Every structure is written in C-alpha cells, then in structure tokens.
Amino acid sequence: MVFKSKDQLAGLTAAAILLVSSQASAGIISISDSASWNLGNNATVESTGSAQRTSVTNRSLSLDGFDSSLGTLLGVGLSFTSSWTLRNTFQVRDPTGFFDEDNVSGSGGSRQTLRVDLVTPSGAQPGQGTLLSNGCSDNDGFCSRNQSRGGTFNSGINITAPLSDFIDIAAVQLDITDTLTSFISPCRDSEDICRSIGSNTWGGTATITYRYDDTPVAVVEPSTLALVGMGLIIGGLTARRRAAA
C-alpha cells in the first residue's frame, strides 16, 4: 500500500488504534440461577414426665456453576429468602376415670432449627432457631391449648471459597435442613398424661449471581501492529521537525 501523504497514514493509524481500543472495552454482566424448596415436619411426644421427640427433613439444592466460556468471573453472590410457620398443640388428660378426675397441668412446646449449608464449594452455614412454648391446666381432667408463630428467614451466605472454585463445576450445592423438636417439660402429675404435638413448614428460594466481564481477548493482526508502529514513528519525526523549526 502506498500512502500519498503523512496525514493519510496518520488517519489510518488512528483508526487502527481505535479498533484495538474498542476490542478492549469492558462489558460487565450479571447472570443468575435460582432454585426453591418446601419442607415440613411433624413431631409428637407423649409422657407422664419429661420427654422430647425430634424430626429432621433435608433437601439438596443444585445451582449452576459459572461457565468460563462466558468471560472472566469477577464476583459471586449467594442469598436466599424464605418463610416459615411453627405450630404446637399441648394436651393434658387424667386417665384414671370420670370419678377420679382432678386438676391437670403441664408445659412443653416445640422448637425448630432452620439451616442452609453451602456444601460445594464449602462455605458458611447460616441458621435460625425458634422456640414456641406452650402449656395448659384445668380442674376437669383435661386441657388443650394451641399456639402458632410465623416469620421469615432471609440471609446472604458468606462465601469464603475462591472464585476459581465456582468455575466450570457441575453444580453449586446447598443443603437445606429443617429440624423440629416437640417436648414436655414436665407433666406436673405423674398420674396425668401429657402430649405435645408439633408441626412446621418452611419454604424459600436460593439465588446465585455471577458478575463477569465478557470482553473478548483482543487479537491484533501483525499488519495492524506495523501500521501503528509506523504512525508512531512518523508522528515523532513530525513533532521533532516542528520543534526544530
């Protein structure tokens, strides 16, 4: 190629530099994946004294890992939102018969522990515990009382694993665990029978978000590099001549 003037060469050089610069411009993008769960438990215990019974339900959630073909991973965010309900019915009865019925009394309740564990890659284990106390008393040989509570459990998960642990893996795995315990503490009269009936539900959604740069790696042709070099040389010579003049 023959250039008729230095200005023409300078123009082409500027265009080449602009091309290389445009290839290197940043493109920060976010992509997310979500999965939901619904768990529930029932636990009933009956005793003339103190006692408890525990029920555990568990579910594994899988979220997408980061596909390295998308670009360069810059950050990972992991969080969940959820809601729960906890119920307990506490009953006391005198089993000795109608003519022997007397005062009955007892206490107990239910407690739940909700936990989200980041298993793969390993990470934090946020958890929340809730106690629902209950009890009843009566002078007619039987009593029963219902109690219930509800709420939310929302949290981010502190990620301690390096970003590389999320790249090109089969899945990011979460373990969701719901533990329910019903207890009697205690049945006040050893002749009476106390019963604590507990149940709960827990549902939510976990979301993982990846921030990445999708800028392609700039591959500069040798001819482009030569053109840039020539332009820089001519630009320098021109500047020197003007300074000398």
pLDDT tens-digit profile of 162-175? 999 999 999 999 99
Rounded distance between C-alpha atoms, residue 178 and residue 203, angstroms: 10
Rounded distance between C-alpha atoms, residue 236 and residue 244, angstroms: 12
- In-domain check, residue 53: yes
- In-domain check, residue 40: yes
Q: With a cut of 50, say whether residue 18 has pLDDT above it.
A: no
The confidence band for 95, taking pLDDT boundaries of 50, 70 and 90, is confident
Q: With a cut of 90, say whether residue 221 has pLDDT above it.
A: no
- In-domain check, residue 114: yes
Q: Backbone phi, then psi, for 98, in 5-degree steps?
A: -60, -45
pLDDT in tens, 113-146: 999 999 999 877 789 999 999 999 998 889 999 9
Q: Which domain, by its residues, includes 36?
A: 31-217
Q: With a cut of 50, say whether residue 94 has pLDDT above it.
A: yes
- In-domain check, residue 232: no
For 137-158, what is the mean pLDDT?
93
Rounded distance between C-alpha atoms, residue 63 and residue 206, angstroms: 9
- In-domain check, residue 12: no
- In-domain check, residue 11: no
For 14-19, what is the mean pLDDT?
48
pLDDT in tens, 28-84: 999 999 999 999 999 999 999 999 999 999 999 999 999 999 999 999 999 999 999
Mean pLDDT is lowest, of 1-10, 47-56, 223-232, for 1-10
- In-domain check, residue 113: yes
The count of structural domains within the chain is: 1
Report the pLDDT value the prediction gives residue 9, as an integer from 0 to 100: 45
Task: Report which residue type is found at 242.
Answer: R
Task: Report which residue type is found at 125.
Answer: Q
CB-CB contact of 178 with 57 (8 Å): yes
Task: Report which residue type is found at 223.
Answer: S
